[in-house]
Amino acid sequence: MAIKMTVDLQCGACAALVHLTEPGPKFCPCCGAGFDRYCLKCRRKVEMFFEEWWPEDNECVRTYTPAKRCPTCNSGLEVETRESSRDDTKYNH
């Protein structure tokens, strides 16, 4: 039985749902908040977590939400916005 998989991203700032495409969107089209989260203490990216639900037996809907806390050190995570990343040097390598 083929399973129909739907993947959405939910903005951590305004809670808008964005359908996941390839490559995945980096910023919320509604408010411009980034989906990536970085821990300032550990200096590494924190993966999003997801929840699944099954509206039908062969249909899965998975919703990814940005983590609010670092799973390693439990500190609050920085919300990267379109504005703050524009002059970010990490994209200039």
Residue closer to Zn ion, measured from CB, 60 or 81: 81
3-state secondary structure the chain: CCCEEEEEEECCCCCCEEECCCCCCCECCCCCEEEEEEECCCCEEECCEEEEEEEECCEEEEEEECCCECCCCCCECEEEEHHHHHCCHHHHC
Beta-bridge mates of residue 8 = 19, 63
- Which of the ranges 2-10, 26-34, 47-55, 61-69 carries the binding residues for Zn ion, by CB under 5 A? 26-34
Could you say which of 9, 11, 18, 77 contacts Zn ion (CB under 5 A)?
11
Closest separation in Å from C-beta 27 to Zn ion: 8
Q: Which of residues 42-81 bind Zn ion (CB under 5 A)?
A: 42, 70, 72-73
Please tell me whether residue 3 binds Zn ion under the rule CB under 5 A: no
Closest separation in Å from C-beta 79 to Zn ion: 10
The answer to whether 36 and 83 have CB atoms below 8 angstroms apart is no
Q: Binding residues for Zn ion, per CB under 5 A?
A: 11, 13-14, 16, 28, 30-31, 33, 39, 41-42, 70, 72-73
